[in-house]
Amino acid sequence: MAWLSITLELDPVRAEAFSEALLEAGAESVALDPAGSQMRVAALTNTDANPAALVASAASSAGLPPPEFAVTRVEDEDWVRRSQSQFGPIQVGDRLWIVPSWHTPPDPAAIVVRLDPGLAFGTGSHVSTRLVLKYLEKNVGTADRVLDYGCGSGILAIVAAKLGAGEVAAVDIDLQALETAAANAGDNGVILRVAAPESLPPGTFDLVVANILAGPLIALEPLLAARTRKGGRIALSGILESQAAEVATAYAQDFDAGVIAVEEGWALVGGARR
pTM value is 0.74
With 0-12 / 13-18 / 19 or more C-beta atoms within 10 angstroms meaning exposed / middle / buried, residue 235 is: buried
How are strands ordered across the β-sheet holding 29-35? 29-35, 38-46, 3-10, 70-74
CB atoms near residue 91 (< 10 Å): 15
Report d(CA 206, CA 156) in Å as an integer.
Answer: 15
Q: Is the distance from CB of 6 to CB of 27 less than 8 angstroms? A: yes
What are 145-203's pLDDT values in tens digits?
Answer: 999 999 988 999 999 999 999 999 999 988 888 998 999 999 999 999 999 999 999 99
What are 250-268's pLDDT values in tens digits?
Answer: 999 999 999 999 988 889 9
Report d(CA 160, CA 140) in Å as an integer.
Answer: 7
Q: Which domains does the chain have, with CATH numbers?
A: 3-82 (3.30.70.980), 121-272 (3.40.50.150)
Q: How many angstroms separate the Cα of 232 from the Cα of each of 62, 145, 248, 274?
A: 35, 10, 16, 8
